[in-house]
Structure 1
Amino acid sequence: MPPHLDSGAGASGAPLHLLVLLHGAGGQHGGGDHIALAHAIRHGALLLIPDALSTSWDFLRGGFGPDLAFLDRALLWTMQRYQVDEQAMALAGFSDGASYALSVGLMNGHLFSDILAFSPGFMAPLRREGQPRIFVAHGKEDPVLAVQRGHDIAQRLTQEGYDVSYEEFDGAHIVSPPVARAALQRLET
């Protein structure tokens, strides 16, 4: 553990930003985990990378349940041990994790200030609370989830009054490093 985290606060004693990163099917991050780790180290932020209890997130298998409960416990554990800036908590995901991040993040917009969705397939929040900022990115040549899905999600959220940034990039079903860095930089504003 880095020495400046021993007290549960950042090096300056300030609360820490928290980024929660959700994987895609089979535990894949599309390269986003390395980018998020570099960002967390550079900015002195906390990075929480939970695993789904199966190959993907519970909602994709029939409804919210054990994964959501596990995520809740992981957040509680983190917040009990570290001084987290409650105005700077982001939920991010790739592929299935992006769909889960959108769904869970929109239901908990009072908790998450930002949602970052890389190659999402859908969103299905049971309710909506708060007004998190939303970043959606999708590869134009994505063979797994068509780019139109990301476009439609971003357009719908914009029409519903959310602050949305949408990026299409030349690439397939991955987290584009330049786009991911831009999304993470947005968290610092």
Structure 2
Amino acid sequence: MVRSRHIRLLLLPVLWSHALESHTKASHRQVVSLVGEDCELPCSVDPGSNVRVLQWSRPDLDHYGYLLFYRHPWVRSHYQHPDYRARVQPKDPGLNHGELSLVLKNVTHNDTGTYECRLLLDNNIGSKTTVYLTVKDVNSWSEEEVSTTRGHLAFPVATLLFLLLMMIMLFIVVLKRRATPPQQDLN
């Protein structure tokens, strides 16, 4: 009896992985981090979705285990890979609001690699996000990489400022038109 329960517990992640493969949407992300920093591995789902299973894994790990294994309603720490104990946590510990990103603490060069966020929702629709993490030393970043990293924010910020300016100008024009009485033709 006890032996069959252990076998079922060991097979549970394998069975969930198989279930996640069918009806799955996939996306890919690239993350660059510095040695010693905490880094966020992004993964999300529509807010209001009910997540039944969440698996954060690293396919190239030699040993069995997950970075994080959640099966509603708890995180199952006994499935966690030893290298990631006390180094990972969900960005949103309650896994609410569609935020399923994972925070990896104190990254090292050994953390460079591919990570997978697999999830299964109540409606049996699955999703897989592949995240490629590159960990670099502070001194190894070229000026081009630093400016490119900063440039990722420059375009959205500039676009937001432009749209804000356009809305202000439109608001001023509408106010002026309402404040000016219409001209009557005396002819």
User: TM bucket by the smaller chain?
Assistant: under 0.3
Q: TM-score if structure 1 supplies the norm length? A: 0.24
Q: TM-score if structure 2 supplies the norm length? A: 0.24
Structure with more of its chain in strand, by fraction: 2
Bigger relative CO (Cα 8 Å, ≥ 6 apart)? 2
Specify the structure having the higher radius of gyration (Cα). Answer: 2
